[in-house]
Amino acid sequence: MNTHLQLLIAFQHLDSKIIQLQERTHQIPESIEELNTTLDESREKLEEAETFLGEKNARRRDLELDVEALRGKLSKYRSQLTEVKTNKEYQAVLHEIATAEGEITTKEDQILEGMMVIEEKEQLGETLRKEFEHKEKEILQKRSELEKFAAEAQTQIDDLENEKSQLGTQIPDELSQQYGKIATARNGLALAEAKDQSCQACHVKLRPQLFAELKTKQEIITCENCNRFLYWAG
């Protein structure tokens, strides 16, 4: 086999490994972004639940303070009943007492309703927290594995590129340029094995004379259909 053709075969072998690694790592940034989005969505749900609970608890505390203040007023009004001197004043104080008692009842009902909502949301919040913690652990592990693979793949690509560069110094410039053009036009595959009198890349039948020359001559021959360099493995 032609020495330069042997070099081209080895060169393409390195190229193929690089392309395979690049294809495997190409989707990694998008995959990591999807994992981050999933984690962010889970975190957002948890934060929304926590914010809601915080607001409800704050509202409950405000109502409890209101009730406490109203009970203070109620105690004051009841004390005033023993001090009023006219029926009109007496009725006025009774009205204030009834109003305060009504407000206390309303606010206590609101507190009770709020506590029921809080209890329900606390259960939901706990469920969301567990889900988030599980997702966070799982996603961080997956992300770490992807980042590790990407780093290792890049190291392999760099090593293969160095090896390819060294090998490239042994290939004539004109032949190297021709290889590059074919590889670009043919999805990185510039060489193809000739087997069973066919090009194994485009699967077109080779002329008998061309196939015979390929097996006997030392010159580099290209496929008449796809223009790839042909080699016969024997």
Is residue 157's pLDDT more than 80? yes
How confident is the model at residue 216, as a pLDDT? Answer: 83
CA distance 228 to 234: 18
CA atoms within 13 A on the CB side of 80: 18
How far CA 123 is from CA of 60, 98, 137, 167, in Å, comes to 18, 38, 21, 65
- What integer is the mean pLDDT of 27-32? 92
- What integer is the mean pLDDT of 169-175? 92
Is residue 53's pLDDT more than 80? yes
How confident is the model at residue 233, as a pLDDT? Answer: 80
Q: What angle do CA 188, 179, 233 make, to 5 degrees?
A: 80
Cβ atoms 116, 56 nearer than 8 A: no
CA distance 216 to 214: 6
**pLDDT band with cut points at 50, 70 and 90 for residue 85:** confident
Cβ atoms 184, 220 nearer than 8 A: no
CA distance 144 to 31: 12
Is residue 218's pLDDT more than 90? no
CATH of segment(s) 13-171:
1.10.287.1490
- Percent of the chain topping pLDDT 70: 100
Is residue 234's pLDDT more than 90? no
Cα maximum dimension of the chain: 132
Q: pLDDT averaged over the chain? A: 92
Helix (H, G, I), strand (E, B) or coil at 65: helix
- What integer is the mean pLDDT of 166-185? 93
CA distance 76 to 176: 101
How confident is the model at residue 185, as a pLDDT? Answer: 93
Is residue 155's pLDDT more than 90? yes
Per domain, the residue ranges of the chain are: 13-171, 174-231
**pLDDT band with cut points at 50, 70 and 90 for residue 1:** low
Kindly report, residue by residue over 91-128, the tens digit of the pLDDT.
Answer: 999 999 999 999 999 999 999 999 999 999 999 999 99
- For tokens 């004379």, the residue is 209
